Amino acid sequence: MSRKAEKIEPLQTTTVNVNFEREQILNMSFKEMGMSRSAIYGFRHCGISTLNDFLAYYEKKKRCVLCDGKWLGRKTLEELLQLLKEHNWEWVLQDDISDGP
Compute the average pLDDT of residues 77-101.
Answer: 77
The answer, yes or no, to whether residue 70 has pLDDT greater than 70, is no
- The pTM (predicted TM-score) of the whole model is 0.65
Give one word for 72, left, alpha or beta, with left for phi > 0 and alpha for psi -120 to 50. beta
Taking residue 36's Cβ as centre, other Cβ atoms within 10 Å add up to 14
Q: Specify the pLDDT at position 71.
A: 55
Query: Mind listing the pLDDT tens digit for each residue in 19-66?
Result: 888 899 999 999 999 999 988 988 888 788 999 998 888 777 655 555
Residue 82 CB contacts under 8 Å (≥ 6 apart), including other chains = none
Q: Specify the pLDDT at position 32.
A: 92
Per-residue DSSP letters for 72-89? T-HHHHHHHHHHHHHTT-
Q: Specify the pLDDT at position 35.
A: 92
Distance separating alpha carbons of residues 66 and 50, to the nearest angstrom:
17
The answer, yes or no, to whether residue 98 has pLDDT greater than 80, is no
- Sorted by where each begins, the domain ranges of the chain are 35-93
